[in-house]
Amino acid sequence: MQDENQANQMEIEEVRSICEGYHIIKKLGYGTYAVVKLGQKGHEQVAIKFLKVKNEQERPKIIQKLKQEVHILELLNNHNHTGIVQLKYVSDNLTYIKKNGQIVNKIGMILELGEKSSMLSYLKELQKFDEQTSRFYFRQLMTVLVYMKKHNIFHLDLKPDNIVFDSDFNLKITDFGFSKQVQGLIKDFHGGSKPYMAPEIWDRIAYDGSKVDVFAAAQILYKMITGCFAFNNCQEQPYDLIKQNDYAQFWNIKNKQHQTLFPQGFPDDFKDLINKMFDPDFNRRITPEECLQHPWTMGLEANLYQIQEQFNNLQERINQQLEQQKEEYKRKKQKMRDYERAAQEMKNLLQQSQQSYKSGNSQKKNPIIDKKRQIMKKFKFTFENRVLKRGLPTKMIDEILIYDDPKNLFCSIIDHFDKCGKIINIHETKCKLNVNIMENDEEKQEMQIELKKLEGDKLRVEVLNLGDDYIKFNEEVQNLKQSIQQQRDEVHIQQQ
């Protein structure tokens, strides 16, 4: 226990951001309107939800959104239902002390933590749940929806991300940011997450909030049983078949898709339940109460001990993966900072070198400018009419992000391919060229390289594969990266 306390204390000491006395440990999740972080005070851990405020003009609207979510949570928490996360504290003026000591105020709330993480994290690890475990959580979910319905409250954004497990692995619903308390039909909200949105949401008509939650719950149940969505959006064929009430064709497609999972096809009672929950006419769609009484739901379910035995081991793996991802993110962030710092130093050296060359203060020739002139002379081009197009980083393996002078960089790229390949063409108006990689006097790989400008002084080297050998292509991209870095290192040495 002492070692555990010391470990917890060390973890807290590493984190300097504090909100209302809670040390901010890590980010738990984020969305369009909010970010959720793990807070710790002593042995107590909580989820702190911060609402995003882009500008002061937006602040009143965000505060109103906060009040709506708090009102719903307070109503649901009044009866202390175990399937709803508990609200601990709320303020439009949370005291937040940043790592550098700066104090800012944030809009947000402090909530009960789903200690065993979200349903999504377990589905990612297991792909799917067995039928009895799925039935256990489906019954718990429907029980919560029945409770909410009694209070005319509807979630409107149900998904595995917004379902968490408590310390015993019981289900709890969280994130009521889109929720409504309405008697009758809802007319003023047509949003949510695309894979879970009912036809009436897409059609932008007045709808029954409880039936929208049932439709989303059908997608969750299908995901638990099969490990994938019944459909990803409203433009897919399965969704069209549901809207057309063509369930025979829908299940024909799904039987083929999940043949290894259900060699004899899906069970009839499961198909019947899904059909009734996905009914495109919400007036006919099954209610949460009817879902609980359906034959499939009344079947054999796992007990909590079985789930705990299975999921506890899984929780350790999930935590390890999260820690590995966290460390990897830190390493990448530090590497990028180091790279940007070195790149800025290189840029400063280049500028000093060019200024020194122009002013005639240097008694010896500038090797950088001389080399660039030699390449331009050899390939008979100038930069006078050459346009550096704008682009966006795509985070693909075939792009290289770099800080450099575009003229120097383009000449470095030409120099690289002049040595290892055959330059087919240098574009007249763009920083672009086509090359053939040669091996034993044979053409092995055709590539197209273009230099584009990003925000600030950052540049992107975009490499397009025009051949069939993807292994060779990836090798050449890596060779180009190394060559650019090597030439930059040489320049740095020459300037010292």
Indicate the domain borders of the chain.
1-113, 126-302, 362-495
Give Cα separations from 471 to 91, 228, 467, 475, 478 (angstroms). Answer: 55, 31, 11, 6, 11
- Where does 267-420 show beta strands of DSSP type E? 399-403
Separation of alpha carbons 158 and 49, rounded Å? 18
Residues 6+ apart with CB under 8 A from 10: none
Q: pLDDT (tens digit, 9 = 90+) per residue, 141-153?
A: 999 999 999 999 9
Task: Identify the top-confidence range among 114-118, 286-290, 384-388.
Answer: 286-290
Least confident window among 82-91, 308-317, 423-432: 308-317
Amino acid at 133: T
Separation of alpha carbons 40 and 85, rounded Å? 17
CATH class of 1-113: alpha beta
**Average pLDDT in the 267-288 region?**
96
Are 229 and 222 within 8 A, CB to CB? yes
**Average pLDDT in the 260-284 region?**
95
pTM of model > 0.85 = no
Would you place residue 96 in the very low, low, confident or very high pLDDT band (cuts 50, 70, 90)?
A: very high
Separation of alpha carbons 45 and 35, rounded Å? 17
3-state DSSP assignment of residue 351: helix
pLDDT score of 119 more than 90: yes
Give the pLDDT score at 30. 80
Q: pLDDT (tens digit, 9 = 90+) per residue, 45-84?
A: 999 999 998 888 889 999 999 999 999 999 999 888 899 9
Amino acid at 287: T
Phi, psi of 46 (to 5 degrees): -140, 165
Give the pLDDT score at 9. 47
Give the pLDDT score at 353. 60
3-state DSSP assignment of residue 135: helix
Least confident window among 32-41, 183-192, 483-492: 483-492
Would you place residue 10 in the very low, low, confident or very high pLDDT band (cuts 50, 70, 90)?
A: very low
Tokens, residue 79:
């009866």
CATH of 362-495, one of 1.10.357.10, 3.30.540.10, 3.30.310.80, 1.10.3720.10: 3.30.310.80
Answer yes or no: same fold for 126-302 and 362-495: no
Report the CATH superfamily, name and number, of domain 126-302. Answer: Transferase(Phosphotransferase) domain 1 (1.10.510.10)
Q: pLDDT (tens digit, 9 = 90+) per residue, 326-367?
A: 677 677 667 667 666 666 666 666 666 656 655 655 445 566
Are 29 and 157 within 8 A, CB to CB? no
Are 213 and 221 within 8 A, CB to CB? no
pLDDT score of 215 more than 90: yes
**Average pLDDT in the 314-318 region?**
73
pLDDT score of 3 more than 60: no
Give the pLDDT score at 393. 63
Give the pLDDT score at 39. 94
Are 216 and 196 within 8 A, CB to CB? yes
Separation of alpha carbons 80 and 74, rounded Å? 10
Separation of alpha carbons 416 and 233, rounded Å? 46
Tell me how far the alpha carbon of residue 4 is from its chain's centroid: 32
Any binding-site annotation on 378? no
Give the pLDDT score at 99. 87
Environment class of 377 (CB within 10 Å of its CB; exposed 0-12, middle 13-18, buried 19+): exposed
% of the chain with per-residue pLDDT over 90: 48
Q: pLDDT (tens digit, 9 = 90+) per residue, 230-245?
A: 998 888 899 999 999 9
Number of neighbours of residue 215 by Cβ within 10 angstroms? 25
Residues 6+ apart with CB under 8 A from 271: 247, 251
- Residue count (the chain): 496
pLDDT score of 210 more than 50: yes
Give the pLDDT score at 14. 57
Give the pLDDT score at 12. 42
Number of neighbours of residue 402 by Cβ within 10 angstroms? 20
The whole-chain average pLDDT of the chain stands at 85
Position with higher pLDDT, 223 vs 486: 223
Q: pLDDT (tens digit, 9 = 90+) per residue, 395-438?
A: 565 677 777 788 888 888 888 888 777 788 888 888 888 888 77
Separation of alpha carbons 284 and 290, rounded Å? 12
**Average pLDDT in the 40-46 region?**
93
Query: Within 13 Å, how many C-alpha atoms sit on residue 472's CB side?
Result: 14
